[in-house]
Amino acid sequence: MKYAIVTGASKGLGEAITKRLFEEQMAVISVSRTENEELKKLAAEKGVNYRHFSCNLSLDKEIQEVFMEVAHVIFKGEPEEILLFNNAGVIEPIHTVGSLDQTPTIRNIKVNLIAPILITNLFLNKAQHTNTTIQVINVTSGAAVHPIEGWSVYCSSKAGLNMFTQTAALEQWELGTNHKIFAFSPGVMDTKMQETIRSSSQDAFKDLEKFIEFKEKNVLLKADVVAGALVDLVLSGTVESGKVYHINDLLK
Ligand SMILES: NC(=O)c1ccc[n+]([C@@H]2O[C@H](COP(=O)([O-])OP(=O)(O)OC[C@H]3O[C@@H](n4cnc5c(N)ncnc54)[C@H](OP(=O)(O)O)[C@@H]3O)[C@@H](O)[C@H]2O)c1
């Protein structure tokens, strides 16, 4: 049996990934602060094994408690493979350096970088001495490699996530395991995160007009299209561990 864990499944890309996994009849564990009732209903209709765990990924104590329980639930079924989608993310704070508030700054690094590190570590640890293969999908951003004024914290957390992915993949290769860990950059998608970006102030975010135009000109990617391409890649068995994939590589 295969199991998927999707963080940030309540909205946006995470919700779309979860719906696509339901189509594959895959058992899914959703982790976020709020529960998406539509997913619960859909899983029941399709007869798919689905559970939601509430967790604030900016709190390390909650991460430890919740993911120990998630690991317990999953490993007792001796799964052949676990797909771990580290998808939850936050864009804020959107401000230039010198005007950053401490709380959202720390929260951003915790949700975007520390949580994926802790969760990946926990699952690779639990997989030792089992026959379970882990595939970790870290959802990153083009902002990891392109500095965007006003997004210094987001750019830094996603750059850190890319480096964590590459380093952990090298280690697993050296250890001779079958575990794979890769990053995926989804492009600019029509989700709540883009609403937050469009509601930022021109003073804080130089490219505001450009992002408002993306919406007006209808060039934002649909989350279900992006999720479809990602899940196809994950299930293809062709993933190159350590690679940072971009949606444009998959949609052409
Ligand atoms: N949208 C884009 O254009 C874009 C571009 C590049 C990369 N990305 C990346 O794609 C991923 C998904 O983004 P999205 O656009 O789908 O964002 P979104 O619509 O804003 O959804 C974010 C998800 O993250 C969860 N989340 C946020 N803070 C959390 C916390 N403290 N604890 C637990 N869960 C938390 C939210 O769940 P709750 O609120 O229920 O907790 C929600 O399900 C992110 O990693 C993002 O950085 C997005």
Please check whether residue 145 is in contact with residue 133, taking contact to mean a CB–CB distance below 8 angstroms: no
What 3-state DSSP class applies to 133? strand
Domains of the chain by start residue, with CATH: 2-187+222-247 (3.40.50.720)
Angle between helices 115-127 and 152-175 (to 10 degrees): 10
Q: What is the pLDDT of residue 195?
A: 98
pLDDT digits (tens, 9 = 90+) for 221-231: 999 999 999 99
Ligand 1, residues at Cβ distance < 6 Å: 8, 10-14, 32-34, 55-58, 87-90, 111, 139, 141, 186, 188-189, 191-194
Q: What is the pLDDT of residue 225?
A: 98
Q: What is the pLDDT of residue 252?
A: 75
In which residue ranges of the chain is pLDDT below 50? none
The side-by-side arrangement of strands in the sheet containing 133-139 is 50-54, 27-32, 2-7, 81-86, 133-139, 180-185, 244-246
Pairing, β 50-54 against β 81-86:
unpaired
What gap in Å lies between CA 4 and CA 81, rounded to an integer? Answer: 8
Q: What is the pLDDT of residue 39?
A: 98
For the record, the structure tokens of 138 come out as 């870290």
- Catalytic positions, written as ranges: 154
- Measured in Å, residue 173 CA sits from the centre of ligand 1 at 30
Q: What is the pLDDT of residue 100?
A: 98
User: Mutate which of 5, 32, 153, 199 to test ligand 1's pocket (most atoms within 8 Å of Cβ)?
Assistant: 32
